[in-house]
Amino acid sequence: MTVGDYLRAIVRSWLVVVILAILGVAGGYGFAKFTPDTYRSTGAVLVTSDRGDSTSELVQGSAYVQNLVATYVLLARSELVLQPVIDELDLDTTPRALASTITASSPLNSVVIEVSATSGSPRLAQKITEAAIESLATVVSNDVAPQTDGQPTVRLTVIQNADQPRFPFAPSTRNYALFGGLIGLGLGIAFAVLRAFAWQTVRSRADIGRLTSVPVLGEVVETRRGTRLPAAVLKDRLGIEAESVRAVAANLNFLKVDGGLKSLVVTSAASGEAKSSLVIALGLMVAESSRRVLLIDADLRSPSLADYTQLDGGVGLTNVLIGEASLAEAVQEWGAEGLCVLTSGADAPNPSQLLTSQRMTDLLEEARAEFDFIVVDCAPLLAVTDATWLGNQTDGALLTVLYDKTRTHNLEKVVNAASVGGLNLLGAVLTRVPRRGVSRYGVGSYGARTPSEVERLRRRLDPRERSRTTS
């Protein structure tokens, strides 16, 4: 994947990224609110040496003190210093535990030691700091510093008394919320990238072209909520749905098939990729050119043409294949002049045997003699091999690819399966493309008509309406 692919994956999952970032901010804020306040008190001592009467001795003493400062910083958190603090304040803790609440440091190139203590009580933080500084000074004077004439050569002088803090230094609500937001944002981005790796889907012609060499014959826009594609085409023959299907029908004429394209199979990689809707809508558009069109529902495992067209599905393809009815008796006219539908018929326990039989081959030959164009709705290619067999009995197969649902690896698998089976893939159609920015002429709102304008135009184009107006 390129950087652009990663960015597109993040943009595609922007809602999840935003929600996780907001949850992270809320979580950090809530954690900060439920975390007890912590106060810090700080004091400072100056380390000096009393030895040396001459200038050289004073310089040596200063260097000697600077070397000791780092040692005293470590000493401030030792058991030797902290046990007296525990005894003095009567604390219910251990030197090791108390050391975790105390910090000691020395600014660079200085002989100052800063001691800080933290506690949930501002007063106790001050007391611990004062006691720690006092205990450090005592340990240095009595136990650590060298003695000269019974006097220590190094002493600690308090230069900053421990203050009682007025405000807690932790938790920082802003920092916790920011940190939580960053964690949520990171999780959201990780989810988007992992989703792109594990669930890459086809979203454009370019995706199909990048993954396969199959030509893209068009993009069929999604219908409005609650409306199926055939119903939308029947309702408005000038609508953007009809125009998008009409473009696919027109592009079929450019396919180079010996003797012209007379029959094809419509299949998909998986179920639910709008192949049956396209079969019916495509039949409606081809029938516009005064051609006799036959739609055959050969998806015997999950038939849908009878449901889409509201035709009687009791007699259909299976009845013709087992000799219970003839082709002429089983086909039904629907939707437009010259358009006929052969439903799946009665349920069959052996769909593959029926579809690969000699009778199916004879049926297709008979249909070619009766009709100008045949469209066969077949089961998904990755599920069963029916489409491969029937595709080789026709001029080829048309593959439907559902926008943002068909997975890229499924598309690659179905093309490979077609190649192995010797199936001629005539092209692919991207279905249910979002309507945004699409008009009857493809882009923007140019050419859009109101329903009343569409009705007036329909009447003007209808020969029956013209003859009625003339009379």
pLDDT, tens only, 273-282? 999 999 999 9
Give yes or no for residue 114 having a pLDDT over 90.
yes
- Overall average pLDDT of the 67-91 stretch: 89
Kindly report each contact of residues 91-95 with a partner whose C-beta sits within 8 Å and lies 24 or more positions away, as own/partner: 91/128
At residue 355's C-alpha, the angle toward residues 351 and 361, to 5°, is 160
The residues near 287 (Cβ < 8 Å, ≥ 6 apart) are: 293, 335, 336, 337, 338, 339
Whole-angstrom CA distances from 33 to 30, 177, 333 are 5, 10, 71
The number of angstroms, rounded, from the C-alpha of 352 to the middle of its chain's C-alpha atoms is 38
Averaged pLDDT of the chain = 85
The predicted structure's pLDDT at residue 449 = 45
Model pLDDT, residue 3: 74
148: left (phi over 0), alpha (psi -120 to 50) or beta: beta
pLDDT tens digits, residue range 207-243? 898 889 999 999 999 998 888 999 999 999 888 999 9
Its pTM stands at: 0.61
Q: Model confidence over 4-24: pLDDT tens digits?
A: 767 877 887 889 999 999 999
pLDDT cut 70: percent of the chain above it: 86
pLDDT digits (tens, 9 = 90+) for 397-420: 999 999 988 988 899 999 999 999
What radius of gyration, in Å, describes the C-alpha atoms of the chain? 42
- Going along the chain from its start, the domains and CATH numbers come out as 3-35+171-198 (no CATH), 39-160 (3.30.70.1130), 205-434 (3.40.50.300)
Q: Backbone phi, then psi, for 392, in 5-degree steps? A: -80, -15
Q: Euclidean distance between the first and final Cα of the chain, in Å?
A: 67
More confidently predicted of 456 and 422 = 422
How do beta strands 154-160 and 397-402 pair? unpaired
Which element (helix H / strand E) includes 308?
A: helix 305-309
Q: In the predicted model, is pLDDT for residue 330 greater than 90?
A: yes
Per-residue model confidence (pLDDT) at position 453:
47
What is the DSSP code (8-state) at residue 92? Answer: S
Question: Does 271 have pLDDT greater than 80?
Answer: yes
Q: Tell me: pLDDT of 465 over 60.
A: no
394: nearest Cα among 378, 412, 414? 378
For residue range 350-364, what is the model confidence (pLDDT) as tens digits? Answer: 999 999 999 999 999
Give yes or no for a contact between 107 and 134, defined as CB atoms under 8 angstroms apart: no
* pLDDT tier for residue 149 given thresholds of 50, 70 and 90: low
> Is the confidence at residue 307, as pLDDT, over 60?
yes
